[in-house]
Amino acid sequence: MFPTRLRLYNKAWVANRLELNVRYFERLAEGQSPQALWIGCCDSRAPAEEITGARPGELFVHRNIANIVRADDPSFAGVLFYALEVLKVPHVIVCGHSNCGGVRGALDNHPEPCLSQWLGPIRSLLTPGELTDPDKDAVCLELVKKNVRRAVNVLSEMAPVQARWKQASPLAIHGWVYHLDSGYLEALEERRSASESTAAATH
Ligand code: CO
């Protein structure tokens, strides 16, 4: 059974960690100081730590269907506040992925009300031409990218991000796409506060 396999793996993993460092779990239990907030899709094929090699303690992770950033999502608002104000992460990474079922659901106007309501912000990014374009796969990939750019824009306006930029506390927002068919990450854009960007340009 699959759950049995998961627990057996876990036992072997603990033994392996302890063999490498007998204090491994003691150290982890002392606290976290992650380097980035990762915002990704729930898709089982896009596991943040697996595709980036990030170790326990390095990524603070939030996942939802189609990695949508909504200012009216209380779960996400709490995650963003905690990551930026308490953990003081220096990076936020929004990572969409190709062949995203959520983005496809937005394109096809999924009939389930809870999904169509959730996916609304993605659907609103579609142009009339894209809605009638027969090449659904191409439109879908373009929509994945638009959704990431939209997320970076929405994040830039949210209070915890604005507060960090006003404090001149280094914070960069990265927009990436994970290509399921090749395994590679593609960087779409990176945004910092105006003063940080100027400093980076002159140094
Ligand atoms: Co997805």
CA 27 vs CA 2, 19, 24, 56, 88: distances in Å: 30, 14, 5, 11, 20
Could you report the per-residue pLDDT of 19-67, keeping only the tens digit for each? 999 999 999 999 999 999 999 999 999 999 999 999 999 999 999 999 9
For CATH 3.40.1050.10, the residue range(s) in the chain are: 32-202
E strand or H helix that includes residue 184: none
Residue 202, pLDDT > 60, answer no
**Is 41 an annotated catalytic residue?**
yes
Check residue 199 and give its pLDDT: 65
203 compared with 148, residue with greater pLDDT: 148
Look at the block and give the residue holding tokens 């290509």: 179
**Is 108 an annotated catalytic residue?**
no
Could you report the per-residue pLDDT of 73-90, keeping only the tens digit for each? 999 999 999 999 999 999
Q: Which residues contact 134 (CB under 8 A, 6 or more apart)?
A: none
Please state the separation of Cα 147 from the chain's center in Å: 11
* Alpha helices (H) in the chain, listed in sequence order: 2-20, 24-30, 48-52, 74-81, 101-107, 113-118, 120-123, 128-132, 136-157, 159-166, 194-202
**Is 45 an annotated catalytic residue?**
yes
Q: Mean pLDDT for the chain?
A: 95
Percent of the chain's residues with pLDDT above 90: 93
List the catalytic residue out of 42, 45, 135, 137: 45
**Is 97 an annotated catalytic residue?**
yes
Residue 203, pLDDT > 60, answer no
Check residue 201 and give its pLDDT: 61
Q: Which fold has domain 32-202?
A: Beta-carbonic Anhydrase; Chain A (3.40.1050)
113 compared with 201, residue with greater pLDDT: 113
Could you report the per-residue pLDDT of 120-132, keeping only the tens digit for each? 999 999 999 999 9
Q: Rounded distance, CA 30 to CA 141, Å?
A: 41
